[in-house]
Chain A
Amino acid sequence: MESTRAPRADLFDPTALSALGHFEIVARWIVDGFLSGLHRSPRKGFSVEFADFRPYQPGDDLRYVDWKIAARADRWVVKQYEEETNLRATIILDVSRSMDWRGAGEEPRLTKRAYADQLAAALALLLLRQRDAVGLIRFDDLVRTSIPPRARSGQWRRLVAALAEPGNGRASDLAAALGQAARLVTRRGMVILLSDLLVDVDAAVPALRGLRAAGHDVTVLHIMDPAERDFTLAGEARYTDPESQLDVPAAAADVRAAYRTTVDHVIAEWKDRLGALGAGYEVILTDQPYAIPLRLAFGARERRP
């Protein structure tokens, strides 16, 4: 029997999805698709106290269109509600130079940065729709953006606008970003770190421990390009880290197996160290549909009281 249900955007290939529109719109599709896949009312348990109007945008649920205003003024507006928030979430996004990279392969992929931006936008929208307060910290060698968690209707636009700002400092100062987050989120909440984790683990873990000590739920989504995971590059070259300018001559075929073993060890080390802190950790490859990281993050939110 042929299904009449529309395809779920959260299951689309990220690269193909990003070609369909601005990531703000794409984020909506992703979240709508994700929520429809939950088989539950997206509004269940939400507060319904009216807060504001805003212009209708394609994709908005027609149930929230104010038909009286539409009849009187011939303009479509959507009613917004000030709903109670039981979670303050902060998305910490790594925008260092290493994130602005994608491996060359048969299929074009998003850069880690583009993938993380899209994922951050979708996460923010998802949380905002659940009336959670969402903040954003973008960092490279400096903290580039710092938006405190809010659940207001304009928060989403602020976040989207911030995501479009440049980054790409030479290095990643994860400890500084986490410290900033600790200062921004005074109440216990959820911290979602999107980063390629090309940082010193010994320097990062104390900062994460501080967040955990403050009572935050920490989920680390380790963004990796498949080429970084399996070293699918070919040929002999000097492989150079654009951040640190570390230069390693190698023949890909010769070191591939050893590299994969090393990456396995690195992932295991992150998992062990973060697991010991009680923080969640998942490796997200940039060719995976967004549903995977969304489910991980949403799962973490659901586990909150």
Chain B
Amino acid sequence: MSFLAPLFLMLGAAAGVPLLLHLMRRNIATRVDFPAARYLLRAEAEHSRSLKLRNLLLMLLRVLLVLAIALAAARPFLPGLGVGHGPTAVAVVVDNSSSTTAVVGGRAVFDRLRDATRQLIAASTTEDRIWLVTADGRVRGGSRDALLAEVARIAPSEGAGDLGLALARAASAVQGSPLPARSVAVATDGQRTSWASASRIALPLALLLPSGDPPANRAVLAARAEPARWTPRGSVTARVETRDSVGYRIVIGNRTLSRGATGRGEPIALRASPPERGWQAGRVELEPDDFPADDARHFALWVGPPPSVAADPSAGAFAATALSTLVADGRAAAGGALRVASADALSALPALIVPPADPVRLGAANRELERLAVPWRFGTLDRSAVVARGGRLDGVAVTERYRLVRAGVVPSDTLATAGGEPWVVAGAGYVLVASRLDPAATQLPVRAPFVPWLADMLSLRLGAPAGDIGTPIDALPGRPIRLPAGAETLESVGGSRRSITAETMESPEERGVWFVLRGGRRIGAVVVNAPPEESVLERWNAPALAARLGGATARAASTSVGWVGDTYAAGATRPAGAPLLVLALVLLAAEALAVRSSRPTAA
């Protein structure tokens, strides 16, 4: 039992007044002349038993009456007695993660959860303390009306949120309340992946998990432009989860690049050379189903002009031929921006560098490398036959190579190895190959991957435009992201903008591609997609999830009525003021009846 106004219990001391009067009756000082006192004496003698019982009853009625009034004034709350519910601190966790937009039985699960939450808050009293916690962990407090307005404003998020964090914050809010009854209410679709990281709370928990099976879902689990920078050619790959054949569409910018159908386990791949230039937004879409949130996945890419390339005669005939092929195919342009040359013939970077044909020129070559700040040197000649490893160059035979010796600490990438040693390395403005592009040194020039490899090296490694374009930043909705230095604004495909106040900020909630602007120019892109696991709609069993989150005492319901009851039953106390007042009235009536029975009737 608990009391809202325990000071009023002091009124209970007044219960001693009837008792005192009852005892003081034996010591009455007032004298009244009454000639028929003998009848009075006889009446008391003849009815002593009933008079004592009656006096005792009256005394008890009056004592109980005073006690009932005092108790009612103290506003008690008793288990199992009374009406409504006692003052309860309730934190309501509303799962508004993306998965709740799934349509079950013709209605989105989120709509059911929101309606139930509305009912729960509407059932609260002015003495309750209610918090509303959404899947992103945001906690909202306030009056009942304010929270009802908040519920109306809640929309499904674009991501999975962090329901574990939301539950922990809900428990923390409730635990800080001085109210005796505390409860955490959770309304969720019970998605297994959403609650994977949640910890059990030590509070009464009421779980609402609407009945019904999740819909069969088709989802784009991954979509990516490869490489991220197209000059201007590249490919889009996507992975789709579907049980049967489903139509898809690939869009870059405002153009549909491709339509098709794919089946279970079949990857989607598209090579393209779009005419657009600069940072572009793309997406892979499926035919809509009952869970539309994952029917599209976004990606970003940079599309630039083909690199301008010139082959130096020192690079050999094979390099010149390959470059002419690329130029003819439009994947490179004739010019002098990029050079393919032996190290001793270099004058500037960027360049694809090969060793000199004449070993006598090796010293000059290394000096040139030093002059151009390339952190590698050609070492001793090695004519052992080895096989190259790394990317497109896997399995290429190498019969003659210079051992590459590192000169300096400037970081660089090893793109391929031969005999366990660096064979192709790359850094800022250079790609260095340790063998001549000649079949006498390596089979690379006469292998099929040679031309595509060369195109990649020129466009991706060497053909980057001035400035740091970077790669697209993959982000989850509302999660922290680190933006490029100097970024000023995020701009959506639709044109809406958000100012950037720090290098680290929360990503937008809205899924899609957000371009990073600096000085009005796009310098990168943030791609916001829901996590792929959000597409897995498999659910927890309601009792199992309740036990996982709240232990053995947690209750699970599939209807809002049951859930509301479970939530407010957690405190197990109800206001007993009204029943006590009714009891007081009954006692008063009984006392009046007992007194009236001894009054004279009208003549």
A262 touches B598 (CB 8 A): no
> Is B495 close to A, CB under 8 A?
no
Q: Closest 4 interchain pairs by CB?
A: A98-B35, A258-B47, A262-B43, A230-B600
Residues of A contacting B597 with CB < 8 Å? 257
Known A232-B600, A249-B28, A258-B43; contact A243-B55, beta-carbon cutoff 8 A? no
Encoded as 1 (CB less than 8 Å from any B CB) or 0, chain A from 204 to 237 comes to 0000000000000000000000101011110111
> Is B496 close to A, CB under 8 A?
no
A250 touches B44 (CB 8 A): yes
**Interface residue ranges of A275-289 to B (CB < 8 Å):** none
On chain B, which size bracket covers the interface? Answer: 20 to 34
A248 touches B598 (CB 8 A): no
A256 touches B35 (CB 8 A): no
On chain A, which size bracket covers the interface? Answer: 35 or more
> Is A240 close to B, CB under 8 A?
yes
Interchain CA distance A258-B597 in the complex, whole Å: 10
A251 touches B47 (CB 8 A): no
> Is A64 close to B, CB under 8 A?
no
Instruction: Give 9 A-B contacts (CB < 8 Å), ordered by A residue.
Output: A196-B36, A226-B603, A241-B35, A246-B38, A250-B40, A255-B40, A256-B598, A258-B46, A261-B43
B598 touches A241 (CB 8 A): no
Residues of B contacting A97 with CB < 8 Å? 35
- The CB with the most chain B CB atoms within 10 A, among A98, A239, A266, is that of A239
**Interface residue ranges of A92-107 to B (CB < 8 Å):** 97-99, 101
B30 touches A237 (CB 8 A): yes
Known A258-B47, A262-B43, A263-B39; contact A253-B598, beta-carbon cutoff 8 A? yes
> Is A242 close to B, CB under 8 A?
yes
Encoded as 1 (CB less than 8 Å from any A CB) or 0, chain B from 281 to 317 comes to 0000000000000000000000000000000000000
- Within the complex, the shortest CB–CB distance from A141 to chain B, in Å, comes to 14
Choose one: A232, A253, A258, A265; the contact of B595 (CB below 8 Å): A253
Interchain CA distance A258-B42 in the complex, whole Å: 9
Name the residue on B nearest A103 (C-beta).
B34
B54 touches A101 (CB 8 A): no
**Interface residue ranges of B5-44 to A (CB < 8 Å):** 25-26, 28-44
Known A230-B600, A232-B600; contact A255-B34, beta-carbon cutoff 8 A? no
Interchain CA distance A226-B230 in the complex, whole Å: 120
A238 touches B598 (CB 8 A): no
Choose one: A232, A243, A262; the contact of B39 (CB below 8 Å): A262
A261 touches B595 (CB 8 A): no
- Within the complex, the shortest CB–CB distance from A172 to chain B, in Å, comes to 10
Interchain CA distance A49-B29 in the complex, whole Å: 65
Interchain CA distance A99-B599 in the complex, whole Å: 25
> Is B552 close to A, CB under 8 A?
no
B41 touches A248 (CB 8 A): yes
